[in-house]
Structure 1
């Protein structure tokens, strides 16, 4: 290894002390999952009523199935290192590249949507952000680059930052659960009445597509397996624990806000959790919740930016992206991949600057969900073909297809187009390898 711009697998090696332990891996998963979804989704889900509650139950169960498939494959095939390695073993290199590229698209689109959510909550402290046309996009761009600078310091710095922000972001979520329990217990809660006739497949699918975005990230430890200590043990444990804990928190918090706030109040709130606290408690604590929500989103942006650097680096190591993307600095940080990803996120934010904050959030949310689902579907089908936990693989594949359907033709179609757009870079990498 010869300096700050070393290339190839040797240039990416890190000493064990720089790797993520089990707690940091769980923090990476939960920190990426607990981002904007739980803090902003209640506004989007409020019109669905009890359909949203059932959607959370179905999506959490389906995500746990997919998490078990990922964990089982990691145990059976530790040499695969990343989820795309399972797809390569089952179907070959080209399908693996396409779904891996689609997942990279989902990562930087997730960065965009979470950054927008952070700005939405920040607007409750600085109203001028929501009143100026370009301010939301510019503020989100500033957040993306601030977190990129932290990640450029190395994976250890990003991991420590993730642990701290996870501890802070859980505080308001636990407060919401306690407030909801007290309000329900003393009879002051105005719970939306349950009517079976309101439950229907159309609303359930639409709500599920939105809620699934909040659970993206359960695969992050698998994606960053090269940066995790004892990955054959810690990656499956972190995947299952992180997914289960996050799903339970989401179900309780989002159901409380969606069913106990009047629909008109929830749908128009830029900060629904803060509105819930103000409605059932007082404005002072509500402002504190908004502050914690910003911290939560910042932590999630940090974790996803870590992923948007690690994924191209890993693909370059596997020679499915040009080696240029795999270059690392003296800390083992894939600086080029990080900067390219953040530049793309910046361009997308600039192109969508004319939309409202909620409009940007919901469109990019569905695009990110659809792009990630192609990888989940491919891994589930790979598990079936490789004869690993086949019953779970079949359920996971059916669940991924159902969620793609629910995301709608626009988002799923764009995700497919963006997936195919990466093929020229794959061709470049193969030509580079042949020349070498």
Structure 2
């Protein structure tokens, strides 16, 4: 039995949630919302409420199925069966690889403030990106505790500049900058819907603590607490940051800003502040990449144990890390990242990001539906009565469905194509595992 010292605790699990949710993208969000006016702050509130339902669902599922490694995959497979579970894992695996490539690009871009060569040399940018991907892959092969400790430190470092701007900025606010309330040209409800659709992607990653459940100490309690605590921290950072920046920078100026947090820091602390905000962006991207690197090994490992993925993905090293899946995933990330710096492949990379958008949201939809089924099956009263379970599951399902619709027609169409592309692979894996003389898939340690 694995010692509790070799497992993730509350704070490392929380840092995994916060670190994966708060990436480099949050630094651009105030500028993206500025054209709507201060009504966009309500968009954050609506997204946070919807995410709260999801957080409760994942928290309760971690109580009902405490040892289920794989998070959304494991819950979907248990509630809706192997095929639905496979679709969730397949799409999620590809989506994480695409997301990690995008995060790496954001990290390299932030470093270009300090090393201008990275902005002008594709070779230097690619080499930096590859070094980052494989350095973090190595860190994650040292064990889940090593990865968790790195994540905890990075999360604290990334929160510092965000909190300084979010809290310190409250003293620099000018109320007139919040007017007009709604400059979107649509109704208040329409503006809230539009901004909530934009902000909901900032809450992707809320499920992160559930995925390495087998490596979490006392998962029934720890995962639920870490998920809710992570959501609370991220929401405070998002909302307070938006309030401060919107109050510091006039909306007409803000909507054209490429570095809103840095611009606010310059107003608050002077020109040199731009550099430490850029450092904050780099740290945020680095932390998100570390957290998602851990995830990208756990998901294929979980599905391979159920004989729905090739046996290769069950291979573990002496630290209990599914290194084979992690190495394969990091190779995919490296290829996708390199595409962005290769002339002629940039559009293909953007297409892959679009392709994977739906695959990040489908696990939420399926997990919400599975929660109701599993709760009725388990009859676990500590997660509430049947009526409250059905209500919570329905609200989380409705929010997930709305989020999918809000991702856009193209994302839904191409995301569906990506999921369907996994079916031949699914059939092939089933065929391979049912060949005469084929041994049952077990965990291989090397």
Structures share fold, TM-score greater than 0.5: yes
Q: Is the 8 A contact 1:65 1:395 kept in 2?
A: yes
Q: Aligned in 2, Cα 1:69/1:190: closer, same or farther, shift over 3 Å?
A: same
Q: Measure the CA separation in 1 of the matches of 2:196 and 2:356.
A: 14
Q: Aligned in 2, Cα 1:65/1:231: closer, same or farther, shift over 3 Å?
A: same
Q: Measure the CA separation in 2 of the matches of 1:234 and 1:159.
A: 14
Question: Over aligned residues, Cα RMSD in angstroms?
Answer: 2.8
**Which residue is 1:352 aligned to?**
340
What TM-score does the superposition give when structure 1 sets the normalisation length?
Answer: 0.87
User: 1:210 Cα deviation (Å)?
Assistant: 3.2
Q: Is the 8 A contact 1:210 1:365 kept in 2?
A: no
**Which residue is 2:202 aligned to?**
214
User: 1:252 Cα deviation (Å)?
Assistant: 1.3
Moved more, 301-310 or 17-26: 17-26
Q: Is the 8 A contact 1:322 1:426 kept in 2?
A: no
**Which residue is 2:419 aligned to?**
419
User: 1:268 Cα deviation (Å)?
Assistant: 4.8
Q: Pick one of 227, 239, 256 that aligns with 2:227.
A: 239
User: 1:131 Cα deviation (Å)?
Assistant: 3.8
> Which stretches of structure 1, 4 residues or more, deviate above 6 A after TM superposition?
358-365
Q: Aligned in 2, Cα 1:297/1:328: closer, same or farther, shift over 3 Å?
A: same
Gaps of 5+ in 1: 1-12
**Which residue is 1:10 aligned to?**
none
**Which residue is 1:50 aligned to?**
38
Q: Measure the CA separation in 1 of the matches of 2:189 and 2:139.
A: 43
Q: Measure the CA separation in 2 of the matches of 1:35 and 1:205.
A: 23
| 2:56 maps to 1:60 | no
| 2:266 maps to 1:278 | yes
Report the number of matched residues.
421
Q: Measure the CA separation in 1 of the matches of 2:293 and 2:140.
A: 7
Q: Is the 8 A contact 1:192 1:260 kept in 2?
A: no
**Aligned pairs (5 A) from 1:75-114:** 75-78=63-66, 80-81=68-69, 82-114=71-103
SS across alignment from 1:422: helix
Q: Aligned in 2, Cα 1:87/1:23: closer, same or farther, shift over 3 Å?
A: same
Q: Measure the CA separation in 2 of the matches of 1:309 and 1:344.
A: 12
What TM-score does the superposition give when structure 2 sets the normalisation length?
Answer: 0.85
Q: Is the 8 A contact 1:98 1:422 kept in 2?
A: yes
**Aligned pairs (5 A) from 1:27-426:** 27-78=15-66, 80-81=68-69, 82-132=71-121, 136=125, 138-184=127-173, 187=174, 190-195=177-182, 198-199=186-187, 204-258=192-246, 260-263=248-251, 265-353=253-341, 368-386=356-374, 387=376, 389-426=389-426
Q: Measure the CA separation in 2 of the matches of 1:67 and 1:167.
A: 22
User: 1:378 Cα deviation (Å)?
Assistant: 0.5
Moved more, 231-240 or 35-44: 35-44
Q: Aligned in 2, Cα 1:332/1:24: closer, same or farther, shift over 3 Å?
A: same
SS across alignment from 1:208: helix
User: 1:162 Cα deviation (Å)?
Assistant: 0.4
Q: Aligned in 2, Cα 1:52/1:162: closer, same or farther, shift over 3 Å?
A: same
Gaps of 5+ in 2: 377-385, 439-446
User: 1:242 Cα deviation (Å)?
Assistant: 1.0
SS across alignment from 2:272: helix
User: 1:237 Cα deviation (Å)?
Assistant: 1.1
1:9-54, Cα deviation, whole Å (9 max, x unpaired) = xxxx854422111111111111111222322333433333335322
Q: Aligned in 2, Cα 1:46/1:144: closer, same or farther, shift over 3 Å?
A: farther
**Which residue is 1:432 aligned to?**
432
Q: Measure the CA separation in 2 of the matches of 1:407 and 1:283.
A: 37
User: 1:132 Cα deviation (Å)?
Assistant: 4.4
SS across alignment from 2:113: coil
Q: Aligned in 2, Cα 1:368/1:212: closer, same or farther, shift over 3 Å?
A: farther
Q: Aligned in 2, Cα 1:44/1:188: closer, same or farther, shift over 3 Å?
A: closer
Q: Is the 8 A contact 1:312 1:325 kept in 2?
A: yes
User: 1:67 Cα deviation (Å)?
Assistant: 0.8
Q: Measure the CA separation in 1 of the matches of 2:264 and 2:419.
A: 39
Moved more, 324-333 or 386-395: 386-395
Q: Measure the CA separation in 1 of the matches of 2:349 and 2:27.
A: 12
